[in-house]
Chain A
Amino acid sequence: MPEADCAIRAEGLSRDFGSLRAVDGVSLEVPVGAIFGFLGPNGSGKTTTIRLLLGLLEPSGGTATVLGHDTRTDGAAVRERCGALLEHPGLYERLTARDNLDFYARVWHLPGPERERRVHELLDGLGLWDRREEIVGTWSRGMKQKLAVARTLLHRPSLVFLDEPTAGLDPIAAAALRDDLTGLARREGVTVFLTTHNLAEAEKLCDRVAVIRSGRLVAVGRPDELRTQARRDRMEVTGAGLDDRSVALMTADPSVESASLADGRLTLRIRDGASTAPLVAALVRQGVAIDEVRKGGADLEEAFLALMGADA
């Protein structure tokens, strides 16, 4: 991808904490203007990656450039042009909503009239203008997250990092925040780097996703590409008579990478290019009364679970 079209480029990015390798050789490219989802379970290295990309941590190995700036040598320039909503909303709870935004507007040197206008525009856009003089500490978590999103976009950054923005919110508040986020991101034309372990959220919001597991990238692509990949590799069988013998039978087959049985459902990972029909026939011969055979996952969650299961 040409440099000008690339908001983030990481090559072999790694970070060790003592003997623990939190991020392990991550290489990825995020196009300008994309909403990029960074998926992974808790402790997989998502937050550490964001910290590395913001120049808040020095990498143990590899390089990363964000908006053309090397994060190792030019972290200040990266932070100058980025916004970040990290693990916590980072709001000053003794101050009012307006004071919080006013402080960060001053941090980013927004001139007086522009500061007022921008604070009004963002609070109004998120339905918080009427509550601007309230102390933030009294607000619900959903409202605080909204305000934190407004703060993140205050200085019109080219790129925003959102670390689990809907974590801890109830489904209604999360959906509302997602709508606000997409609306604001599209309106403001910013590139979004979003970490989440909520796959439905990633599927709704993201143009591209990367999946990280134990610090390593296991997949990068469009959500539909990941689904297709999982569909090709995975097969589920339900029916009567499935038992450990079925698992042993399938595991012994050279076209099967792995087989597992849970809740009466036999899940198979199949080698590339292998045909599934002989496997079904073998199960029938074993005496299994098959109810349903389903190839691949219907959504990103199943693709994600398949990726998480890989190499386990």
Chain B
Amino acid sequence: MISDALTVARKDLRETLLQSGTLRRSLRGLLFSVVVFGVVLPLQIGPDLVRQPAAILPFAWVPLLLASNMIADGIAGERERHTLETLLASRLSDRSILLGKVVAAVAYGWSFMVVNALVGLLTVNLANPAQAILVYSPQAILILGVFGLLGAGLVACGGSLVALRAPTVRQAAQNMSLALVGVFLVPALAIPALPADLRRQVIDTLLGLDWLTIGVGLAAILVVLDVALFSAAMLRFQRTRLILD
């Protein structure tokens, strides 16, 4: 199953990298993300980018955005472009097709986040030549590596559920954007809306925890969510149902 999933992932990555017609044209489009996240933001943040682990959080958007776009294209796009039925008529299992699409979306989003983070590091060093060479702290590398991966997985698995219900790529992408905004907006609105005592209690509890505990806890929650969403997507991704969509 793994080799089949990698075959699907390889094809999906190739299709995504050629979606503007040629590889060069597609990379030119991605250059915008590199300029924003790898050059402009690091120039604004300065050396704090490597000194404060929280300063790298903007990079976390990259895998979320790219993975959501790619899963929309990979699932709703296959249906919209009439390639899904042929794929389903092949020897590939439902599981390997879905896994391949999730792997491709995660790999695509995560690898561009890494590229942005490396370009950001280069930018900060070039902008601050007087200082010793600046490098990310181990915590920052861990946050980027682990949370970038799990976050992209969450978006890809959740996105596959959304894309399975969307008739077109555009509809899938719009629904996913709304869902992503909701994920960030709801806590931002909900926390201030809590009663003052309860809010203080939550904040005190969080501040009382050490970073490692918070990190491990968050990672565990993300792993559980990733697995749950992938399982839910698996239940929906069945050729006998997809063929009727």
User: Which A residues fall within an 8 A CB radius of B?
Assistant: 17, 51, 54, 56-58, 76, 79-80, 82, 84-95, 99, 103-104, 106-109, 135, 151, 161
Shortest CB distance A271–B (Å)? 43
Please name the residue on chain A nearest to B91 by beta carbon.
Answer: A80
CB of B81 within 8 A of CB of A106, answer no
CB of A90 within 8 A of CB of B19, answer no
Which chain B positions have C-beta within 8 A of A135?
18, 21
A84-B89 contact in complex given A51-B243, A90-B83, A95-B18, C-beta closer than 8 Å: yes
CB of A95 within 8 A of CB of B14, answer yes
Which chain A positions have C-beta within 8 A of B14?
95, 99
Which chain A positions have C-beta within 8 A of B93?
76
Asked if B213 lies at the interface with its beta carbon under 8 angstroms from chain A, I say no
Which chain B positions have C-beta within 8 A of A90?
82-83, 85-87
Asked if B11 lies at the interface with its beta carbon under 8 angstroms from chain A, I say yes
CB of A54 within 8 A of CB of B240, answer no
Q: Which of B15, B82, B240 contacts A57 (CB 8 A)?
A: B240
Offer 13 A-B interface pairs, CB within 8 angstroms, sorted by A. A56-B240, A56-B243, A79-B90, A88-B82, A90-B86, A90-B87, A92-B11, A92-B81, A94-B15, A106-B7, A107-B7, A107-B91, A151-B86
- Produce 1/0 per residue, B123-154, CB < 8 A to A: 00000000000000000000000000000000
Extra inter-chain contacts (15) besides given A82-B89, A94-B18, A107-B4, CB under 8 Å: A56-B89, A56-B240, A86-B85, A87-B85, A88-B82, A89-B82, A90-B83, A91-B83, A92-B81, A99-B14, A103-B7, A104-B90, A107-B90, A107-B92, A135-B21
Shortest CB distance A65–B (Å)? 18
Which chain A positions have C-beta within 8 A of B83?
88, 90-92
A56-B15 contact in complex given A88-B82, A90-B82, A135-B21, C-beta closer than 8 Å: no
- Cα-based distance from A87 to B86 in the complex (angstroms): 9
CB of A79 within 8 A of CB of B82, answer no
Please name the residue on chain A nearest to B7 by beta carbon.
Answer: A106
Asked if B88 lies at the interface with its beta carbon under 8 angstroms from chain A, I say yes
- Cα-based distance from A88 to B80 in the complex (angstroms): 11
Which chain A positions have C-beta within 8 A of B3?
109
CB of B7 within 8 A of CB of A86, answer no
Asked if B239 lies at the interface with its beta carbon under 8 angstroms from chain A, I say yes
Which chain B positions have C-beta within 8 A of A161?
89
Interface residue tally for chain B (C-beta within 8 Å):
26
Which chain B positions have C-beta within 8 A of A84?
86, 89
- Produce 1/0 per residue, B73-114, CB < 8 A to A: 000000001110111111111000000000000000000000
Shortest CB distance B79–A (Å)? 11
CB of A86 within 8 A of CB of B90, answer no
Q: Which of B87, B88, B91 contacts A108 (CB 8 A)?
A: B91
The 9 closest A-B pairs by CB, nearest first: A90-B86, A88-B82, A84-B89, A80-B91, A106-B7, A103-B11, A94-B18, A56-B243, A90-B83
Shortest CB distance A60–B (Å)? 12
Shortest CB distance A99–B (Å)? 7
Please name the residue on chain B nearest to A94 by beta carbon.
Answer: B18
Shortest CB distance A8–B (Å)? 15
- Cα-based distance from A135 to B25 in the complex (angstroms): 14
Which B1-28 residues have a C-beta within 8 angstroms of A? Answer: 3-4, 7, 10-11, 14-15, 18-19, 21
Shortest CB distance B123–A (Å)? 32
- Cα-based distance from A279 to B125 in the complex (angstroms): 102
- Cα-based distance from A56 to B92 in the complex (angstroms): 12
Shortest CB distance A167–B (Å)? 13
CB of B85 within 8 A of CB of A93, answer no
- Cα-based distance from A106 to B6 in the complex (angstroms): 10
CB of A94 within 8 A of CB of B19, answer yes
- Cα-based distance from A141 to B244 in the complex (angstroms): 25
Which chain A positions have C-beta within 8 A of B244?
17, 57
CB of B88 within 8 A of CB of A56, answer yes
Which chain B positions have C-beta within 8 A of A89?
82, 86
Which chain A positions have C-beta within 8 A of B86?
84-86, 88-90, 151
- Cα-based distance from A108 to B91 in the complex (angstroms): 7
Most chain B CB atoms below 10 A, which of A82, A87, A90, A93: A90
CB of B91 within 8 A of CB of A86, answer no
